[in-house]
Every structure is written in structure tokens, then in C-alpha cells.
Amino acid sequence: MISETLRRAREYEKEFAAKVPKSQRPLFHMTAPVGWINDPNGFSEYKGYYHLFYQYHPYSTHWGPMHWGHVRTRDFIRWESLPAALAPDAEYDSDGCFSGSAITLPDGRQLLMYTSVTRVQVGEKSIDRQQQSIAVGDGLDYEKIEGNPVISTAMIPEGNSREDFRDPKIIQEKDKYYALIGSRPGDGSGEILLFESDDLKTWQYRTVVARCENEYGRMWECPDYFEFDGKQILIVSPQDMKGDGKEFHPGNGTVLFVGEKKEDLSFARESAQTLDFGMDFYAPQTIQTCDGRRVMIGWMQNWDTCNVGNEERMIYGQMTIPRELSINNGRVCQNPVRELENYHGKSFDYPNVEICTEKSFSGIRGRCLDLTVSLDLTENAGMNWFKIELCKDKAHSVTVKYDVSENTLRLDRSMSGGIRDIVNIREFEAPLCDNRLKLRIIMDRYSIELFAGNGEKSASMNVYTPLEAQEIVFSSDKRAVADICGAELVPDAIKD
Ligand code: FRU
């Protein structure tokens, strides 16, 4: 049975999706039919497709009462839009269906676990009551179960926040189900709690999986927890991080911990890294693909950079390109899914080209491109900097600049056409391999994703530069020799 609230959302998205000008959409990054999106939710494999749900407010380009939007894909590049899956239509989620995850049940149905939110009055204060609920469905329609909320406020351990309790990651181990949930203990920082169930309806609190102890931000949102290449990985999105050298930037961040899983499923952390060094990345989720890869997708936006230019468009927010993870020397690396290469159009290859004053190359222009540049720093000794300007015309450009003495990469979108003084510049240490700098840049109209080295570092940013700004220009302060290759990306023959 579809509620009136969900039916309305489905009709609305169907009517308005058709009205979004095609020029507002990227060509292969996932966007909503209409309106606002934030976190990826319920990223899962189900009946031959990869399903992705997402935080969704169809009715405006701002955050509002959260629905779950829904898409599916077979190859992570072409996304098929499905009707919205969840709406805030129950007494216990009337203020929003917040983030969560998905799992396939033994009877073949799919289960979604999400945070159900209601605003309640506690004395003088109005607070968000965040509890965990379940909906079960067939890949298209989902029904919220009778026993919701299955993990209620009453089950939060003594001393932890009654308000910040969200984003369940559901996992199955042997014959038990577990949910990892973001929480905030008395010290005000973040921690991840573990709940356990035999039948998905009755849950018990079991233990603390990991504690922040005020080291990595405060509230930890959107946990993901999985085994990878013999290690255990915990991903969290902490709020209010403090800057720490060139690894962690202040604000809402994403941290990946590598460590070990203990007997009781709790986590012993060994190392921590930032997941993405750009300005626009948050709340990622991962899946294990049918062929054994670990693929991650993130919200290509951040609470610190969103809400700029919302009024000028009918859709706001997009997901990153899905990325394959690998581990190299204890660091988790990311690279765009290999399926992207199936969408290579006209290619270009300029080995050993000389760069000095501004130089552009025939075939290397546009806003939808897979571009790789590499330079041997030993051969190029004497060069102080190397720069790539993207999305360029007389008035605009977005730059990726490498500084040799600092060994830093600097992204700068202050000339991209944005009119707000949000974070426009980011710097981070460049990963080098045999003293070689390698940069792979994926452009899709309004975004740039940079993968440096062998994917040791990635950086994502949105650029709302007019589509007419198409030039790509390379320069360096002294003569340099670089290898440049790549291809146009032609995911769909979308015509404007
Ligand atoms: C993270 C987050 C989640 C929450 C959702 C609400 O971006 O704040 O913690 O469930 O967004 O839309």
C-alpha cells in the first residue's frame, strides 16, 4: 500500500523530472529526478542490479523532510530512475526518513533500515527524536513494518545523546544481524554503537564498536564497516573536524580507519586517513560487487559548501563517480570504476610533450573528459610548478596546480564563476611514485574529480561554471615534459 505522501512525491517527481533542462544535469553522475539530494543510502546489490537510494527532498532544491529517492544501475555509469522508495508518512518518521542501509532477506525481499525522525517537545526544548525503523520490499515498493521503530530511544545506553542517534549500517554475520549506529556519548564526541538481532524485529544493544574520544571531530555520521584485503575498515563522516596538517581539513570530513575486528565485532584502529581532499565529499557508502570489488559512492557535496546557487536550478546535488577501492602500503586508494572506460569516445595521446607557456592541444577540451597527465620530476628538475586550467574561457577557470618545493597539489575554483566565499581552495600533499606525478581528472560538466598517484588521494569539487567554458590549458614556470592522454566521455547521446 502506497501512502498519500509517497504517492504525491512520486507524481511530483514524474511531472517535474521532465521539466529539468538537460543542460542542468551531468552526463553520467547520479542526480535526482528533481529537487535536493544528500547522502547515498542503501547501496546494495539486489536481483541483478546495483540499487542506490538517497536522501531526497523532491519539492525544492533545499534540504527538507527527507524521503528516500531510488535508482538502479548495472554498470555504475548509467542510472535508471525508479519511483521514490520512502516518504515521511508514519507517526514515528513524520519529520524525515534519514540515512540508512539495505540488506537482502533469506526470502528474497529487500530490507531497508533507516533513521525515523520526529520532532518532540521535551520540557521547554523541541528536539529531534531519532530511532531506527525498517521497510521491506521488492526492489520497487517498500512497506514499513508494524513493529517500528525497532530500535527506540529507550535502547540508547545511559549517558548518550537522545538526539544524535542515526544512520544504521546493517550487516549479517553467520545467523545474526547487526546494526552499527552513530551516537554521541557524554564527552560530546562521536561513537559507533552496535545492536544485535536474530529476527530483525527485536534488537538488543551490544557494545561500542569505536570511540572518537574527541580526536576526529564530534558526532560520527553514516558509518560503514567491512572486511577488505585482510583488514577491517571503518568509515565515518565526522561533524566539526579540526584541521590537522595536510591530511584533515576543518568542518565536515570523512575518515577511513584501517584496523582489526575483535571477537565481539568491535574495532581496534591502526591508522586513519581522509577519504577525499576536495571541497565536496561526504557520507560515502560501499558495496561488494558481484565480481568481488569494493565500490564506494559519496555525496559530491558537503554541508559546509552546499546551499550556493540552489535557486538557479531545479536539481541540486549529485553523487561522485563510484570508485573501486584497493590497499597500497596500508593506505586505501580509490580509482573510478573500470566501467567508465566503456564510455570513452574520441581519444587523445600526447606522449613527451613540451609545456612552458600556456599550451593547449587539439582534442583536449570540453567538460566531459577522462584526462591523465604524468610528469617525471627527475627529468623535469628545475621546474617549480605545473598547472592545468580547466573549464576555461576569458572569464573563468578552475586550476589544479602542483608545487614542486612543497610537493602539494592545489585545487582552486575561485574563478569558476561561483559568487559565494565558500571554501574555494584546497591543498594537499601529492603522492608520488618513483618521483613521478600522475593526475587523472574526470570531468562531467559541473564537477571535477581528481585521482592522484595510483589513487592514493582523490579530491572532488563542484564547479558551476557556464558550460561554454571549455578550454583546457597546461603551463609550467620552466620548460617541462609531460605525457598527456585520455578520451572524451560519451555516456549517452544526450542532446541539449
Ligand atoms: C549526513 C546526515 C545524516 C542524516 C542525513 C539527514 O549528511 O546528516 O546523519 O541521516 O544527513 O539528511
- For 417, the grid coordinates are 564563476
CA of 221 to the centre of ligand 1 (A): 7
Task: Tell me the per-residue pLDDT of 23-35, one tens digit each, with 9 for 90 and over.
Answer: 999 999 999 999 9
- Under a CB-based contact definition with an 8 Å cutoff, are residues 427 and 402 in contact? no
Fold of 340-489: Jelly Rolls (2.60.120)
CA of 39 to the centre of ligand 1 (A): 7
What is the distance, to the nearest Å, from the Cα of residue 451 to the centroid of all Cα atoms in its chain?
15
Q: Say which residue the cell 611514485 belongs to.
A: 433
Looking at the CA of residue 98, tell me the nearest atom of ligand 1: 10
Name the residue ranges covered by the structural domains of the chain. 4-17+28-336, 340-489
Asked if residue 99 has its Cβ within 6 Å of ligand 1, the reply is yes
Task: Tell me the per-residue pLDDT of 337-358, one tens digit each, with 9 for 90 and over.
Answer: 999 999 999 999 999 999 988 9
* Cα–Cα distance for residue pair 445/153, rounded to 1 Å: 44
Nearest CA owner, ligand 1 atom 8: 221
Residues assigned a catalytic role: 39
What is the per-residue pLDDT for 493? 54
pLDDT band at 245 (very low <50, low <70, confident <90, very high): confident
Asked if residue 163 has its Cβ within 6 Å of ligand 1, the reply is no
Task: Tell me the per-residue pLDDT of 370-380, one tens digit each, with 9 for 90 and over.
Answer: 999 999 999 99
Asked if residue 98 has its Cβ within 6 Å of ligand 1, the reply is yes
Task: Tell me the per-residue pLDDT of 417-474, one tens digit each, with 9 for 90 and over.
Answer: 998 889 999 999 999 999 999 999 999 999 999 999 999 999 999 998 999 999 999 9
What is the per-residue pLDDT for 246? 79
Number of H helices, E strands in the chain: 1, 32
Fold of 4-17+28-336: Tachylectin-2; Chain A (2.115.10)
Asked if residue 370 has its Cβ within 6 Å of ligand 1, the reply is no
What is the per-residue pLDDT for 122? 85
CA of 101 to the centre of ligand 1 (A): 13
Which helix (H) or strand (E) segment holds residue 13: the answer is helix 4-17
What are the C-alpha distances in Å from 165 to residues 99, 199, 356?
11, 22, 54
- For 258, the grid coordinates are 584501517
Q: How much is the mean pLDDT over the chain?
A: 96
For ligand 1, pick from 37, 38, 63, 285 the residue to mutate: most ligand atoms within 8 Å of CB.
38
Q: How many CB atoms lie within 10 A of CB 117?
A: 24
CA of 252 to the centre of ligand 1 (A): 11
Nearest to 284 by CA among 325, 315, 244, 240: 325
- Per-residue pLDDT averaged across 91-96, rounded? 97
